[in-house]
């Protein structure tokens, strides 16, 4: 009974209210995903006598930390959980939004649709480089004449690599390797998506993040090893 007053605290939020707060920053968040994160021990909302979840400000901060770590660093939940257990700094509660003039380019959401001219402007490349990247299969224009956030990332990285004399044709092996890896990971994750569980999509998403993190570690280790053999210790 001692916990009952806290559950009735007006500052506590329902799962729907939490979703409303998180959706603008993390548009792919769903009720199922929030429940999945709870089952994985990332957050432990209070419960009313009727069993409804009630989230505190700290709970929302933990969820924001988890979702940002997944989106920005592709970290799997076990790594994020360890960071939280180690006392990771949680983001402060978000204040009410106030309209301000644009001082810098806004970040591009993962589901953005970017027009050709906007892609060149944001990445700081010209039409010739974009056409070269498209010609080598590194960037693909979507039906309707738009590009996604990953195309923007490829363009930005290609521009920086070009400063070292690395051209689009040199990057073609990355695309071939990535396509093979994507096919392999899809075979691993496909069975998870066919499970009879409301959290199957969240579990598959976490498995993909784990695979991507392991892939990055493997690639970096192999690259360092190759450079050591080529250039010497």
* pLDDT tens-digit series, residues 39-73: 889 999 999 888 889 999 999 999 999 999 888 88
Considering only CA atoms, which of 190, 172, 177 is closest in space to residue 216? 177
* pLDDT tens-digit series, residues 211-223: 888 898 899 899 9
Angle at 84 between CA 82 and CA 88, to 5 degrees: 120
pLDDT of residue 100: 43
Locate 74 and state its tokens.
Answer: 């592709």
137 or 198: which carries more pLDDT confidence?
137
Residue 10: inside a domain: yes
Mean per-residue pLDDT for 72-82? 87
* Residue 80 pLDDT greater than 70, yes or no: yes
* Residue 159 pLDDT greater than 70, yes or no: yes
In SS3 terms, 68-96 reads as HHHHHHCCCHHHHHHHHHCCCCCCCCCCC
Within this chain, do residues 81 and 133 fall inside the same structural domain, yes or no? no
Number of domains in the chain: 2
Within this chain, do residues 39 and 77 fall inside the same structural domain, yes or no? yes
Q: Are 193 and 201 in contact (CB under 8 A)?
A: yes
pLDDT of residue 99: 40
Distance CA 17, CA 25 (A): 14
Partner residues linked to 142 by β-bridges: 146
Within this chain, do residues 81 and 111 fall inside the same structural domain, yes or no? no
Locate 99 and state its tokens.
Answer: 């309209």
Q: The domain spanning residue 158 has which CATH number?
A: 1.10.1660
Residue 55: inside a domain: yes
Residue 18: inside a domain: yes
- Per-residue pLDDT band for 105 (boundaries 50, 70, 90) equals low
Within this chain, do residues 11 and 74 fall inside the same structural domain, yes or no? yes
The pTM (predicted TM-score) of the whole model is 0.61
pLDDT of residue 2: 42
Distance CA 143, CA 155 (A): 19
pLDDT of residue 107: 58
55-64, 132-141, 152-161, 189-198: range with lowest mean pLDDT? 189-198
* Residue 201 pLDDT greater than 90, yes or no: no
Strands 46-47 and 53-54: antiparallel
Residue 185: inside a domain: no
pLDDT of residue 50: 83
Within this chain, do residues 80 and 128 fall inside the same structural domain, yes or no? no
* Residue 187 pLDDT greater than 60, yes or no: yes
Q: Final residue of a domain: which of 25, 54, 85?
A: 85
Mean per-residue pLDDT for 92-110? 50
Distance CA 27, CA 217 (A): 28
Residues of the domain holding 79: 4-85
Contacts of residue 5, defined as CB under 8 A and 6 or more positions apart, other chains included, come to none
Whole-number mean pLDDT of the chain? Answer: 85
Residue 215: inside a domain: no
pLDDT of residue 3: 43
Distance CA 65, CA 71 (A): 10
Mean per-residue pLDDT for 152-156? 94
Q: The domain spanning residue 53 has which CATH number?
A: 1.10.1660.10
């Amino acid at each position: 009974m001692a916990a009952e007053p806290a559950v009735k605290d007006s500052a506590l939020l329902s799962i729907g209210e939490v979703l409303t707060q998180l959706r603008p920053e993390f548009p792919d968040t769903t009720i199922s995903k929030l429940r999945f994160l709870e089952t994985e021990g990332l957050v432990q909302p209070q419960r009313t006598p009727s069993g409804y979840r009630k989230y505190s400000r700290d709970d929302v901060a933990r969820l924001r930390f988890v979702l940002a770590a997944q989106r920005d660093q592709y970290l799997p939940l076990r790594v994020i959980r360890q960071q939280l257990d180690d006392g990771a700094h949680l983001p402060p509660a978000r204040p009410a939004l106030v309209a301000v003039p644009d001082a810098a380019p806004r970040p591009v959401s993962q589901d953005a649709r970017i027009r050709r001219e906007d892609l060149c402007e944001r990445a700081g490349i010209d039409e010739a480089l974009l056409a070269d990247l498209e010609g080598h299969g590194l960037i693909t224009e979507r039906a309707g004449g738009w590009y996604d956030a990953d195309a923007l990332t490829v363009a930005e990285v290609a521009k920086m690599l070009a400063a070292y004399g690395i051209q689009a044709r040199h990057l073609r092996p990355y695309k071939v390797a990535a396509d093979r890896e994507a096919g392999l990971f899809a075979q691993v994750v496909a069975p998870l998506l066919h499970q009879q569980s409301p959290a199957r999509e969240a579990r598959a998403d976490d498995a993909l993040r784990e695979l991507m993190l392991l892939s990055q570690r493997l690639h970096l280790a192999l690259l360092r090893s190759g450079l050591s053999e080529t250039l010497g210790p």
